[in-house]
Every structure is written in structure tokens, then in C-alpha cells.
Amino acid sequence: MTQAAASPAPERDFGIYIHVPFCSVRCGYCDFNTYAPGETDGATPASYVEAALREMAFARSVMSDDPRPASTVFFGGGTPTLLDAGALAKLLDGVRSTWGLIVDAEVTTEANPDSVSARSLAALAEASFTRVSFGMQSAVPHVLATLDRTHRPENVSRGVAWARDVGLATSVDLIYGTPGESLADWRDSVDAALGFEPDHISAYALVIEPGTRMGVQLRRGEVAPTDPDVQADMYELADEAFTAAGFEWYEVSNWARTAADRCRHNLGYWTSQDWWGIGPGAHSYLGPDEARQARRWWNVKHPRAYAERLSAGLSPEQEGEPLSAEDLDLEQIMLGLRLADGIPCPPGRADAVARLIADGLVDGRAALGGTLKLTRRGRLLADRAVRELTA
Ligand SMILES: C[S@@+](CC[C@H](N)C(=O)[O-])C[C@H]1O[C@@H](n2cnc3c(N)ncnc32)[C@H](O)[C@@H]1O
Ligand code: SF4
């Protein structure tokens, strides 16, 4: 199938992801497709906005059916809030005029705590954004320094309070297992995050990719990797503290105050809904159509190449792949098993399921009822559980 035949199916939600590929500084641990000043080869936020609007028009021209309104829009990065609120509102208007938005659409932007003000957040709320996700990472200065974070810890509480004051739902991202971070440091970050009273918290184990600056430091022995057992203790500490404060986990790395506070956009990825990714390096996925054919594709990575292709009237797609029914079954296990709601027991996997129950990784009672749900130990070993089920 080509993009020309692509269309989201009415039985699935449709989300729009907008990738903003700029950061004021590249953090040493970050492997995302983002560019600091000096790395953009002439691409600017203004040229990016024009290119992204062009991609929306292109998307509409290749979609076969009437536009289906988006249920969610997620501005990710990079640092979307390096664009001013007017530019973000213009992109959201682009989504509205291209596809429309459902009445209670969730519209999120990621934000670096330093790149918002009371005024910019009020302008985003005014433009129908509903949610802001702050990159907090840690509350401890030496941990923030190791992560190359430039924001001051107090800017997070200020940002969350400003966002709440104008009616935006709030989330904070934390990272655990930074080299040199102790369990006591992590407890301080967890307590600080809870003290801001956000609606949602994400806590990610630090992944150090070989190609990043921190990956090089690790190879040279300049930083020490965190012991996996300590990282597991950090996860348990966070889960206990979040649960005691009234949050509920709904995905291995995500906790929400109520079911209504879960991130609907990310749930769309994890439950194989449809989405179109706008921007350099953005990925898109449209699930099975009438011919039972699903497809994923991704855009060229550099913002300059991206803008040039769209200016020339070309698709920004770099590559894509059809997904077979087996691929989709595998993805449902990989992504769905990480959700608190679990997945239906995969057929033909009784031995693997029995092993996972015996090892305490999945809930035996739920499995008897036909649903696989991870226990807390299973959440710590989710990758192993997926491997057992897909081997
Ligand atoms: C793409 S970033 C965008 C947010 C924003 N640029 C910021 O960092 O403040 C989204 C989140 O991914 C997480 N993240 C990025 N790199 C990571 C890594 N190597 N390991 C674990 N989490 C990571 C961070 O928690 C970050 O807030
Ligand atoms: S600010 Fe966020 S996206 Fe930018 S380099 Fe740091 S972690 Fe990556």
C-alpha cells in the first residue's frame, strides 16, 4: 500500500503527533531527533512551521476518505515550547482546518521548564491546548548537572502552578538511574514531583545509547553505569510513593491521578490506534484498512531536508513498511502487556504463560480469567515477559 491509499479507519481513534526538532542545548543522554543552535543547517523555527503546515496539506491530499477529526494532538520534541505560543497555535489551527478536532480533544505540548511563562501558558490554554508535560527529570542539582539540564529546579514548580492556574492539565517527566544518583536523591525528586501536585507523572529508567555524549563518557569510564538492582529499587520506591499519594499506574512508566488524567495520545500508540506524525523524523501508523493492510512510515530526519522536500512538492517520507497480521499481534503483546489493563492471553502460549505465573511476573488470577496483567515484579521485568511470550 502507498500513502495515496492511506486513511484512518473509523473504528480507531486518530491522533496527530507534531515533532518540533529544536532544543537550546542538547542533553548528553538524549537520543531524540533534535538540533541545537549551530546544528540546523539554516533551518529555523519559522521555516519549520511553514514546512509542517505543508506536510498537513500533503497528508490531506493523499488521504483517500473524508477527513476524520483528530481525538488527540501531541507536540513533542525536541522542545516544542521553543516555538512561541502563536506558532504552536498556528500549527494547531493547521490540524483543525486539515482534519478537525473532536469536541473534547486532548491537546498536549511537551515543555522544558525554562521555556514557558505565565503568559505563554495562558496563550496556549486560550488556543485550546489542554495539557502540558514538563521535562523535570530530577530535583537534585548534581543529577540535573550530570544530565546537562539547564533549568533551575524551582522553575518546574512555577511552571506547573502557572499551567494549573490557566486550566491546563499537568504532567512531569522524571528520569531515574542517572550516574551518581543515590536512592536518597531519587526519593527527593519523587517527593518534589508529588509536591507540585501534577495530574500525571512519567518516570523513565535512564537509557544510555552508545551514540550519545553520555554513551561516550560511559565507554571512556568517565561515568559509571547505575546498578540495575538500584534502578529496580528506584522504580519500586517511586511506585510506592505515587500509589500512596493517590496515583495509579496505567503503563509501566506512567501514573495518573484518575483514569481521566491518563495520556490519551500515548494510549493511542500503545493500543494501536491510527496516527499521523508531522515533522522531521516523525513516524506515522495507519492500522488495517479494508484490504487488512496496515502500514508504518517515517520522515527524513533533518529539518532542512524535510523543508526542502515539502517546498519541492515531494513527500517527506524517508521509508515505510507494510505490517502483517503477525507483526501487529507481536506489537500488541509488546505494547499492550505494559498496560495495567493487560492483554488477552495470546493463543498457543500456555507454557510461556504458566512460566510467567510461576515466576511471579503475571497475575495468576487474571490469567485464569483470560487476561495477562503484569505484577509489580513483572513491570520490572516487562522486557523478559515480552520475550517469553514472543519467543
Ligand atoms: C523528548 S523529551 C522532550 C521533553 C523536553 N525536551 C525536555 O526534555 O524537557 C521527553 C522525555 O523523554 C525522556 N528521555 C529523553 N531521553 C531519555 C533517555 N535517554 N532515557 C530515559 N528517558 C529519556 C525525558 O524524561 C524527557 O522529558
Ligand atoms: S531538552 Fe529534551 S529533547 Fe532536548 S536534548 Fe534535552 S531531553 Fe532531548
- Please tell me the residue having the least CA distance from ligand 1 atom 15: 30
Under 8 Å between Cβ of 192 and 153: yes
pLDDT of residue 165: 98
Q: Could you report the per-residue pLDDT of 187-244, keeping only the tens digit for each?
A: 999 999 999 999 999 999 999 999 999 999 999 999 999 899 999 999 999 999 999 9
The H or E element spanning position 29 is: none
Q: What's the predicted TM-score (pTM) here?
A: 0.96
Closest Cα to atom 4, ligand 1: which residue? 135
CA 106–ligand 1 middle distance (angstroms):
21
* Nearest residue by C-alpha to atom 14 in ligand 1: 30
Alpha helices per DSSP H over 252-314 = 264-270, 303-311
Q: Of 35, 110, 114, 143, which is best to mutate to test ligand 1, by the most ligand atoms within 8 angstroms of its C-beta?
A: 110
Residues having CB closer than 6 A to ligand 2 are 23, 26-27, 30, 32, 34, 77-79, 112, 135
Going from the Cα of 48 to the center of ligand 2, the distance in angstroms, rounded, reads 18
The pair phi, psi for residue 7, each rounded to 5°, is -160, 140
135 alpha carbon, closest ligand = 1
CA distance 296 to 360: 35
Nearest to 81 by CA among 127, 39, 42: 127
With cell 509536591, the residue in question is: 195
Q: Over pLDDT 90: what percentage of the chain? A: 87
pLDDT for position 158: 96
What separation in Å is there between the alpha carbon of 146 and the centre of ligand 1?
Answer: 14
Ligand 1 touching residue 110 (CB < 6 A): yes
Q: Each residue of 85-105: pLDDT tens digit?
A: 999 999 999 999 999 999 999
Q: Is 233 exposed, middle or buried (0-12, 13-18, 19+ CB in 10 A)?
A: middle
DSSP 8-class letter at 210: T
Read off the pLDDT band of 4 (50, 70, 90): very low
Give tens-digit pLDDT for 54-69. 999 999 998 866 778 9
CB 27 within 8 A of CB 147: yes
CB contact at 8 A, 40 and 304: yes
Identify the H or E element spanning 347: none
Indicate if ligand 1 lies below 6 Å from the C-beta of 22. Answer: no
Q: What distance in Å separates the CA atoms of residue 134 and residue 111, rounded to the nearest whole number?
A: 5
The ligand 1 atom nearest the CA atom of 175: 25
Closest Cα to atom 7 of ligand 2: 30
- The minimum-distance atom of ligand 1 relative to the CA of 23 is 6
Q: What's the grid cell of residue 51?
A: 514546512
Pairing of strands 254-256, 248-251: antiparallel
> Among 141-155, 202-216, 259-273, 302-316, which stretch is predicted with the lowest mean pLDDT?
141-155
Looking at the CA of 266, which ligand is closest? Answer: 1
The CB of 173 under 6 Å from ligand 1? The reply is yes
| CA distances (Å), origin 18, targets 41, 198, 385 | 21, 23, 32
pLDDT in tens, 276-333: 999 999 999 999 877 778 999 999 999 999 999 999 999 999 999 999 989 999 999 9
- Rg (alpha carbons) of the chain, rounded to whole number: 21
By most ligand atoms within 8 Å of CB, the mutation choice from 22, 24, 204 for ligand 1 is 204
Dump pLDDT digits (tens) for 337-365.
999 999 999 988 999 999 999 999 999 99
- For the cut 60, the answer to whether the pLDDT of residue 120 exceeds it is yes
Does 36 sit in the ligand 1 pocket, CB within 6 Å? Answer: no
Give all strands of the β-sheet with 317-323 in edge-to-edge order: 248-251, 254-256, 200-205, 169-176, 131-137, 101-111, 70-77, 14-20, 274-278, 283-286, 294-299, 317-323
* Cβ proximity of 10 and 272 under 8 Å: no
Cell of 251: 503503563
What average pLDDT does range 352-379 have in this prediction?
A: 96
Separation of alpha carbons 188 and 184, rounded Å: 6
Query: What pLDDT does residue 1 have?
Result: 40
